[in-house]
Amino acid sequence: MTEPLALRSQAETLAAPLPALLAEAEHLASTVLLGDHGRRRAGTGDTFWQYRPAQPHDEARSIDWRRSARSDSNFVQDKEWQIAQSIILWVDQAASMSFASDNHPTKGTRARTLALALAILLIRGGERVGLTGVRLPPRRGEVQIMRMAELLSEDHQTDYGAPEAQGMLAHSRALFVSDFLGDIGPVEDALLRAADRDVRGTLLQVLDPQEEAFPFDGRTIFQSMTGALQHETLKAGDLKQRYLDRLAQRKDRLAHLARITGWQFSTHHTGESATNALLWLYGAMERHA
């Protein structure tokens, strides 16, 4: 009897973060100026790129007669290549991302905000943006943003997330946002497969300041966010250095992976400004273009 009501309530609960997420992402995106979006090489498009002497393989109808009339040889007008790019996002929605310390936002919130803000920027720039997997293939338009926000708002119940390599279009661009604290295997796998398909992209590691500082002491039982994993220590203070070493190793490994696959890698802390991270992301996307 309460089904419609319950459904409505659930829907509202589900939709509740959406406007906030959207608003936040829009706000964040508005801080980045849309720059030139051309591919900076000749190709199909509307904008003039250059005149070049006609080659034998050029069709006669492609010759720009007006230009050719001013000289003895024939010229062809090249347009700037303006093909739309497909960009695929993966945002870790696992439980570990819901960690937050002090008054910082959770890692998940920050990751989603950044991803969505980038999506907004890219869609406004005329690119097609989608999520990995099959649920949201890349499309353009404002509706895509709404759908993406909806899907990003979901939470997964696993402890650590693994990127999906499915649904990655060849030659597309990709953005993986996660804390990369879980098993590195799936990430490596996904990256290698992406590299196989000539997908270039960016790894953004989002960490909480406490995960960097490890300010613990005394007898402690550390638990993962779902409680599935736990580790007991008698002197947490003694573990600090070794934990930090491992974290540095993990970052090195990610950086190394990125290097060999031609990806970009950066670490963002929730204690810092989100705008910086967005700028970096935007720049990283540009570089691949």
Enumerate binding residues for other proteins (CB under 8 A): 96-97, 99, 101-102, 107, 159-160, 179, 181-183, 208, 210-211, 214-225, 227, 229-239, 242-243, 246-247, 250
- Taking the least distance from each CB to other proteins, the nearer of 76 and 206 is 206
Least separation in angstroms between residue 198's CB and other proteins is 31
Q: CA 110 to CA 101: how far, in whole Å? A: 13
Least separation in angstroms between residue 98's CB and other proteins is 9
Q: CA 103 to CA 73: how far, in whole Å? A: 69
Least separation in angstroms between residue 206's CB and other proteins is 11
For 111-219, strand residue ranges (E) read 128-131, 173-178, 200-207
* CA end-to-end distance (rounded Å), the chain: 54
- Taking the least distance from each CB to other proteins, the nearer of 41 and 235 is 235
Q: CA 162 to CA 217: how far, in whole Å? A: 31
For the chain, strand residue ranges (E) read 48-53, 75-79, 86-91, 128-131, 173-178, 200-207, 220-223, 230-233, 264-269
**Neighbour count for residue 38 (Cβ, 10 Å):** 15
Least separation in angstroms between residue 91's CB and other proteins is 16
- Taking the least distance from each CB to other proteins, the nearer of 81 and 216 is 216
- Taking the least distance from each CB to other proteins, the nearer of 120 and 236 is 236
- Taking the least distance from each CB to other proteins, the nearer of 48 and 222 is 222
Task: Locate 265 and state its tokens.
Answer: 């890698």
Least separation in angstroms between residue 88's CB and other proteins is 25
